[in-house]
Amino acid sequence: MSIPTRDLRHLVSEAPRVMVVDGSRMVRKLIGDVLLKELPNASVVPCNGVAGARAALAAGHVDLVTTSLVLPDGDGQDVARAVHEAAEQAYVPVIAVSSDVQHRLETRTLGDEITDYFDKELGYGALVAFLRGYVQPQPVVGARVLYIEDSRVAALAIKRMLATQGLAVIHVESAEAALDYLAQNREGDDAPGADLILTDVYLNGPLGGGDVLRCVRGEFRLGKRALPIIVMTGDENPDKQRDLLVAGANDLVLKPVEERLLVTKILFQLRAARLVRH
Per residue in 118-140, pLDDT tens?
888 877 777 777 777 667 667 78
**What's the confidence (pLDDT) of residue 174?**
96
Which strand ranges, in their side-by-side order, compose the sheet holding 168-172?
168-172, 144-148, 196-200, 229-233, 251-254
Per residue in 90-119, pLDDT tens?
668 888 998 888 788 777 777 767 877 888
Please state, rounded to an integer, the average pLDDT across all residues of the chain.
85
Asked if 27 and 96 count as a contact pair (C-beta separation under 8 A), the reply is: no
pTM of the model: 0.67
For the segment 215-231, the average pLDDT, to the nearest whole number, is: 94
**What's the confidence (pLDDT) of residue 4?**
40
Q: Is the pLDDT of residue 82 over 90?
A: yes
8 CB contacts (<8 Å, ≥6 apart)? 64, 93, 134, 135, 260
For the segment 30-59, the average pLDDT, to the nearest whole number, is: 91
Residues of the chain with pLDDT > 70, as a percent, come to 90
| Angle (deg, nearest 10), helices 259-277 and 124-135 | 150
Neighbours of 116 (CB within 10 A): 21
Q: Is the pLDDT of residue 43 over 80?
A: yes
Q: In order of start, what are the domains of the chain with their CATH numbers?
A: 10-135 (3.40.50.2300), 144-277 (3.40.50.2300)
For the segment 128-154, the average pLDDT, to the nearest whole number, is: 82
Per residue in 57-79, pLDDT tens?
999 889 889 999 999 999 999 99
Asked if 38 and 136 count as a contact pair (C-beta separation under 8 A), the reply is: yes
How far, in whole angstroms, is CA 47 from its chain's centroid? 24
For the segment 219-229, the average pLDDT, to the nearest whole number, is: 92
What single-letter amino acid sits at 124?
Y
Per residue in 233-248, pLDDT tens?
887 777 888 889 889 9
Q: Which long-range contacts (CB under 8 A, 24 or more apart) does 209-217 make?
A: 209/148, 209/175, 209/233, 210/243, 210/244, 210/247, 211/175, 212/148, 212/175, 212/178, 212/179, 213/244, 213/247, 213/248, 213/249, 214/247, 214/248, 215/179, 216/182, 216/248, 217/247, 217/248
Q: Is the pLDDT of residue 278 over 50?
A: no
Asked if 167 and 266 count as a contact pair (C-beta separation under 8 A), the reply is: yes
Could you tell me which residues are beta bridge partners of residue 70? 75
- Interatomic CA distance for residues 41 and 30, integer angstroms: 17
